[in-house]
Chain A
Amino acid sequence: MTRARRVDLLGAALLLLLTWLIVYPLILVLIEGFRGPEGWTLDFVRLFLQHRNEAQALWGSLWISLASVVLAALIGIPLAFLFGRYEFPGRRILGWLVALPAVLPPLVGVIAFLFLYGESGFVSLLIQRLLRLDQAPWALEGAGAILLVHAYSMYVYFYLFTRAGLASLDASVLEAAASLGAGRWRTLRRVVLPLLYPALGGAALLTFMTSLASFSAPYIFGGGFRVMTTQIVATRLNGDDQLAMVETISLTLVALVALWLLPGSRVFDNAAGGRKGLAPMRVRVQGRDVRLALGVLGWALAVLLLLPHLTLLLVSFVPLGTWTTEPLPPAYTWRNYLTLVEDPVRARPLLNSLWLAIASTAAAVGVAVAAGVLAVRRRVRGRGAIEALLALPWAVPGTVFAIALATAFSLHAPLAGRFVLIGTLWILPLAYLVRNLPITSRAILAGFRSLDPSLDEAAATLGAGRWRTLRRVTLPLLRPAIVAGASLAFVTAFGDFVTSIMLYTYDTRPISLEILSSLRESDVGVAAAYGVVLMAVSAAVFALGADQGSGG
């Protein structure tokens, strides 16, 4: 009995840590929103309700997110069917290229679009020349621009989820439908789509939440168009801290209501696994003309999707101040990359992002493994609460957490669990950690669940104590899950912009902020070079994760 109690105590300690990191800062925001200089007040709520801007921003966030879901679904689902169900020349490599927007961190994707379709972007200038216009054919600004970027970067969710869903279909179910006389459309409508609903619901929820929390696109392209994430940052910069708190509360409420209303909040764990029987065979596309058309269409699509990556690469070779109005840059140089390595001031953000991402990832893995041992394996009291807390930050936009952490750790009150961390080295890794806990722990907890508990028992009957079992049996078997969870966390932290912009100091400035300041100084070459580094590291880490995931 004492053994059981000690484990419960450890569980309680973990629960306390998570509460302090995740729930406590949010509660402080809630309190701050209702407290003025003279005690409790509804003044700021009233202010929030009276301003038309605020309502506009909230409404903007909401409809942009819904529209992003629709657009991403319209692109992602047909692509998944095309690559998942049909066989044609180039399918393999194209199917892989289609997922590439995922390696662009949000801010990098946004600046790539700026270089492509912005006022002086390649495509805009090209069209301006071709049509002999006096100015750019369009302004990359407002809701349209935001939606364009969202659709580009988020259709991948629908694409990947739908493909996973299609791959997990049992071929014999489709054969059963055919043998019962259902034609292709009826099978699609009555069998395939209903079986895909969980995957589609998951993708819709993920897209909605990501759009709602999206910051980079509205920040760069928003112009006069308001969404809540940028509104919060602007209010905060104005010094209206309390109003920012109320805005933060409103955005959190929208996120939580969406989580509650939208289907698919529980499907993530199932979306990838649990196949029985054989996956359906791909249908070979018949007819030379159709195959040719599909091939051409596929490659055209791939080029379109790869344009941002290529643009970034091209611009990264542009020397400072040489490219003004020409459609293509007139001169190229390695200088920008050399600068990143040689100039200590330029190299600093790179090193910063690296150690911040590594430290926060390691911490997230540590917390997730501890949670796995305690909640899944040892089934401590409060395991449900531990899992719920680990998942919570996923539903809360990054801006909200940035505000919450900035609020909680801005004053010294050790008895209340508050310390001055803002302005120190510690606030950013802490913020990254909190943001990464959901993805890391989802992967690692799923890994724990798939472990056969009798392996632990077998180790025990063979005389291995807890540590030896963890070291020799549990961790080696969890390696694929840990690598998958860690690579996602690392990539997110490495490219983070939304929390960094509110919490960074000069000494901890990460790559994303250096990109922003390079852009402000019109040093597009260096900005793009940083972007390429982010992109390359993300791609490499993703590839490593995928490789490990399939290997184990």
Chain B
Amino acid sequence: MTFLQLESLTKRFDGTVAVDGLSLSIERGEMLALLGPSGSGKTTTLRLLAGFELPDQGRVLVEGEEVTGVDPVARRFGMVFQHYALFPHLDVGENIAFGLESLGVSGGELERRVARALTLVDLLGYERRRISQLSGGQQQRVALARALAPEPRVLLLDEPLSNLDPSLRERTRREIRELIRRVGITTVLVTHEQDEAFDLGDRVAVLRGGRLEQVGTPEDLYASPANEFVAEFVGRSSGIEVHVLGPGQRGLLVLVEGVEWDLTDVSEGRPGPALMVVRPEALRLMPPAPGALAGTVTERRFTGPASLFTVVTDGGTSIEVTGPPRSVRAGERVGIMPSRRAGGGIHLFPRAAE
């Protein structure tokens, strides 16, 4: 059953539309990640949810109850801010007690619940520490504990990892995911990092220009992007202008810079100009040969078990291809072919005829 519902939310600032008719349904206990580049309206959406902004149109509902105009003070949504917004003049315990005091909790009950919140983030015993004495990761956990202590209905996370060292991010991500699962709270988080969205979100909503482009599980988004933007924004990919010729012997016949490829596993089949978006692992490198797309390797990046090669085709398109680490060197001439197990890594989006 839908727990948190956004109904065609629209928000304008001085004439520009920040959020444009956004509708989303979030299940109880679900984690939804709002993913998008800067200016996509994801932060505004979060602020509309928190009640810091009032939408020009649309509604926000929690369990069927409308909260669109409810003051943040009364909304009972917890929030973790990008820079944590911990109160620097209060210690850890006082920060966490702050929201509980608003609910009238006091005395032994207050102490118990502060301790419980700190236990949750593994910081029991840190009650009397000053905020300035904590590391970035600890500050973030205190911010989480502070938001969770009053047992809010919904948890909002604004770029929860952007303020941390890259080396800390992966571990913190795991900890956050585990913690939120354990608490079972319905969560909306905002991020511009795809890894973060994929790792934390049960589902991911991709936003652009204030509009919802696609919402689905990470697997859905990667394997069947709804459009060009999602295909290019989510995961590594290269875009090549192609011409769809029609059905071929095995699949779909496509003309790629003068070379004909017979693609399997491709859904779109309407003949005409199209943009082909290809994941690097859906292509393979081979010696120059007829039927292969000819080009020159310009860059090789070592990423572990495989290397990522950038090839500039003779047509001038830059394409990323994965391959065995030492197979070719920069400057070498190569051919590119679709990998035999492309596995849904190639997507065609028709171009309007010119």
Contacts and interface: CB of A to CB of B under 8 A. Distances in A.
Given A454-B81, A472-B98, A463 B150 contact: yes
B50 A461 contact: yes
B31 interface: no
A461 B86 CA distance: 12
A407 B278 CA distance: 81
Given A461-B156, A465-B73, 9 more contacts: A454-B83, A455-B87, A457-B52, A461-B50, A461-B147, A462-B150, A464-B73, A464-B99, A468-B102
B79 interface: yes
B102 A457 contact: no
A457 B75 CA distance: 12
Given A462-B150, A463-B150, A477 B85 contact: no
Given A454-B81, A458-B81, A476-B89, A463 B74 contact: yes
Contacts of B75: 461
B198 interface: no
Given A463-B102, A465-B73, A458 B89 contact: no
Residue among B50, B72, B78, B156 facing the most chain A CB atoms (10 A cut-off): B72
Interface of B: 50-52, 54, 71-79, 81-83, 85-89, 98-99, 102-103, 146-147, 150, 152, 156
23 contacts: A452-B85, A454-B82, A454-B83, A454-B85, A455-B85, A457-B79, A457-B85, A458-B79, A458-B85, A460-B51, A461-B72, A461-B75, A461-B77, A461-B156, A462-B102, A462-B146, A463-B74, A463-B76, A463-B102, A464-B102, A465-B73, A468-B102, A476-B89
Contacts of A452: 83, 85
A458 B79 CA distance: 7
A461 B79 contact: yes
A455 B147 CA distance: 13
A461 B72 CA distance: 5
B72 A477 contact: no
A294 to B, nearest CB: 38
Contacts of A464: 73, 98-99, 102
A464 B87 CA distance: 13
A111 to B, nearest CB: 43
A457 B78 CA distance: 11
B33 to A, nearest CB: 20
Given A454-B81, A476-B89, A462 B50 contact: no
Contacts, number: 65
Interface in A429-457: 452, 454-455, 457
A462 B98 contact: yes
Interface residues of A, number: 18
A459 B87 CA distance: 9
7 closest A-B pairs by beta carbon, nearest first, are A463-B102, A462-B99, A458-B85, A460-B72, A454-B85, A461-B79, A454-B81
Interface string A454-498: 110111111111001000110011000000000000000000000
A463 B89 contact: no
Interface string A346-386: 00000000000000000000000000000000000000000
A473 B87 contact: yes
Nearest to A454: B85
A302 B130 CA distance: 41
Contacts of B71: 460
A465 B73 CA distance: 6
Contacts of B85: 452, 454-455, 457-458
A472 B75 CA distance: 20
A101 B156 CA distance: 55
A465 B51 CA distance: 14
Contacts of B83: 452, 454
Interface string A66-79: 00000000000000
A458 B86 CA distance: 8
**In the complex, which of the residues A1, A452, A455, A462 has the most CB atoms of chain B within 10 Å of its own CB atom?**
A462
Contacts of B81: 454, 457-458
Contacts of B87: 455, 458-459, 472-473, 477
B150 A457 contact: no
A4 B77 CA distance: 22
